Amino acid sequence: MPVAATAPRFGVNYTPSVDWMFQWMALDPDVVRADFDAIARLGFDHVRVFPLWPVLQPNRTLIRQRAVEDVATVVELGHAAGLQVYVDVIQGHMSGFDFVPAWLVNWHRGNMFTDPGAIEAQARLATVLHDRLIGLPGFAGLTLGNETNQFVDDPNPDKMVATPEQVTAWLDAVIGPLAASSKSTIVHSTNDHAWYRNGHPFVPRHVTGHGTVSTVHSWIFNGTADRYGGLSSESVRHGEYLIELARAFADDVRRPIWLQEIGAPDRCLTNDEAPEFAVQSIEAALSTADLYGVTWWCSHDIGADLSDFKTLEYSLGLLRTDQTVKPIGRRIAEVIADARARPREVPARPTAVQIEVDDALVPLDRPSLGPGGAHFEAWHTLRADGVPAALVTSTDAQDPARLAERGIASVVTT
């Protein structure tokens, strides 16, 4: 039976219109103000922002107060524009560039996940930033960092290896205390390697068992668009699918899930297709329960004066650097207005595709969950046939109480 739900948060990942993330090196409030006003005019209620780690903490024991104050200024500017602000704290990876402080690279090569001094430093930074911001009305929460899991494994050329247990300890140390005590939202984030790659040290339970909300990042350049097409059901429901995956691995069946990144890469979609992809993707996400928010990637295009990004990165914005709105931005604004105007109906998902997991709840074959994989295709085939399917672990599938709690009546094995 469908359940009525209010509209989730709608926001954008904030890519400053001037100097991209290098804006954080010495903030120009006028730039941020103009950007936030343009974002707010589209109807968004929040931004996720990315102060660079080396700017905040260039030495292991130096947190630059001026950089912290710049973040506070951005939160205040967000509030003034009517936006809630989510802050990424360990902002070490962004759009194909890594920003790791000098104290962890080259002569000082270390491991952010396992070196006690590095862990302590990150925990201190997270706490200092949180404590500075928590009193500001514009502050909504803190993300540990953008897809920090990409640092732990191939293909990162300078990977800092860690076991799943070490990742757990790192998450516990850096955001555990905040997640337990803060009145704000405390999360971390991963790319889909946590879901789709065997042996990857970040596992689904890291997504669903740390912080106060599960986050997923949906990118169809991961093979989905290549295999099925940019406007295929698989592509436009990739975000929805990740949300349902995250639900399957959470202890709390009502744990909120945040589609924290989703975007329309021009490698996968033409300019004409991008708005349609956005509409259908957001509508798909709106068919999920306990949806914390949808945060589009990204606010502004990257200026052509900046070099060495992959081509697709330049044009992911909803706004151009001159603040004019792109067609995809206009369409998303309409979708948001519409979602807020009408009661949202979330379909029940009594049919669930079973995922075989080990005793630690790690999927036995993670590629089977990804594009081309058996579980991926089983779920998407049901969905395309009009069945809003769920997913369920093999552990939960043997637990009638758990199935009842989740409202699952039928388990499909592959």
First to last CA, the chain: 26
Q: Number of residues in contact with its own copies, rule: CB under 8 A?
A: 35
Binding its own copies by CB under 8 A: which of 3, 97, 163, 252?
Answer: 97
d(CA 406, CA 185): 24
Q: Residue 159 is encoded by which pair of tokens?
A: 């990977």
Residues pairing with 84 in the sheet: 46
Cβ at position 19, least distance to its own copies in Å: 6
Site residues for its own copies, window 28-87 (CB under 8 A)?
54-55, 58-62, 64, 66-67
**CB neighbour list of residue 153: distance below 8 Å, 6 or more residues apart:** 159, 161, 193, 197, 199, 200, 201
Closest CA to 339 of 293, 396, 399: 293
Side by side, the strands of the sheet bearing 185-187 are 185-187, 139-143, 84-88, 46-49, 9-13, 291-297, 257-262, 214-218
Q: Does 102 bind its own copies (CB under 8 A)?
A: yes
Binding its own copies by CB under 8 A: which of 307, 311, 359, 360?
Answer: 307
Q: Does 4 bind its own copies (CB under 8 A)?
A: no
Closest CA to 412 of 390, 384, 396: 390
Q: Residue 113 is encoded by which pair of tokens?
A: 């996940």
Among 202-210, 274-282, 301-309, 344-352, which window interacts with its own copies (CB under 8 A)? 301-309
Cα 319 to chain centroid, rounded? 20
Q: Does 409 bind its own copies (CB under 8 A)?
A: no
Binding its own copies by CB under 8 A: which of 96, 137, 199, 400?
Answer: 96
Q: Closer to its own copies at the Cβ: 162 or 392?
A: 162
Q: Closer to its own copies at the Cβ: 58 or 229?
A: 58
Helices vs strands, H then E, count in the chain: 15, 15
Q: Closer to its own copies at the Cβ: 106 or 181?
A: 106
Q: At what angle do helices 116-133 and 164-181 cross, to 10 degrees?
A: 20
Using DSSP's 3-state secondary structure scheme, residue 81 falls into coil
Residue identified by tokens 């024991």 is 61
Among 150-158, 185-193, 198-206, 387-395, which window interacts with its own copies (CB under 8 A)? 150-158
Q: Does 312 bind its own copies (CB under 8 A)?
A: no
Among 79-87, 155-163, 273-281, 397-405, which window interacts with its own copies (CB under 8 A)? 155-163
Binding its own copies by CB under 8 A: which of 80, 109, 322, 384?
Answer: 109
Q: Are the CB atoms for 3 and 342 separated by under 8 Å? A: no
Q: Are the CB atoms for 237 and 284 separated by under 8 Å? A: yes
Cβ at position 271, least distance to its own copies in Å: 25
Residue identified by tokens 């009305």 is 137
Among 98-106, 211-219, 282-290, 360-368, which window interacts with its own copies (CB under 8 A)? 98-106
Binding its own copies by CB under 8 A: which of 2, 3, 22, 404?
Answer: 22
Binding its own copies by CB under 8 A: which of 30, 108, 271, 398?
Answer: 108
Phi, psi for residue 399 in degrees, rounded to 5:
-120, 95
Q: Closer to its own copies at the Cβ: 26 or 180?
A: 26
Binding its own copies by CB under 8 A: which of 158, 165, 345, 399?
Answer: 158
Residues that bind its own copies (CB under 8 A): 19-20, 22, 25-26, 54-55, 58-62, 64, 66-67, 96-100, 102-103, 105-109, 117, 156-158, 305-308
